[in-house]
Amino acid sequence: MSGFTSRNDVYPDDRAAVVVLTNLDATGASAQIADRIAAALFTATDPDAVRATAQARQVFDGLRKGKIDRSLFTANANAYFSDQALADFASSLGSLGGVQEFVLASQSLRGGMVFRAFRIRCGRTTLRLTTFTVPDGKLEQFQIASAEE
């Protein structure tokens, strides 16, 4: 039946779940609400989340200038960040204005890696950053896209 969306995020290690029901169809509202609730509940005291947020912000700020610290990435991720890719990131991100918000929206385990989603607000633009971190702490993926609000 159309007309609603739901989201059920389970956090077994914390013995908790976040369940969101909305009366909106074809929208990301339930995911946005669940992510923000989870961020409020779990990330404030998680030292790994604090470290990962600082690292993601460092990489994001570097991309705005067309530079990254390659020691933070796996070989696969470094292959993605060619000189042309770095120039493209600098061109597209550098013109957005100052960062007004950079927050961890959600995190989970997936495929032996830690998946994290961040919400970034620059001027009137909201971005979604997703990362995958391998067990040794290096970033395997660092993807930025426009987010709908």
Q: What is the per-residue pLDDT for 127?
A: 96
Residues with Cβ within 8 Å of residue 46, at least 6 apart in sequence: none
Class in CATH terms, 46-149: alpha beta
Residue 120 · residue 126 · CB < 8 Å: yes
Q: Provide φ and ψ at 69, rounded to 5°.
A: -90, 105
Q: Provide φ and ψ at 86, rounded to 5°.
A: -65, -40
With a pLDDT cut of 90, the percent of the chain lying above it is: 56
With a pLDDT cut of 70, the percent of the chain lying above it is: 95
Mean pLDDT comparison of 6-10, 28-32, 142-146, highest-scoring range: 142-146
Unique residue bearing structure tokens 């339930």: 30
Give CA–CA dist 23/5, Å, rounded.
7
Report the greatest alpha carbon distance in the chain: 49
Kindly list the domain boundaries of the chain, sorted by start residue.
1-45, 46-149
Unique residue bearing structure tokens 């976040």: 18
Q: How does pLDDT run across 93-137, given as a tens digit for each residue?
A: 999 989 999 999 888 888 899 999 999 999 889 999 999 999 999
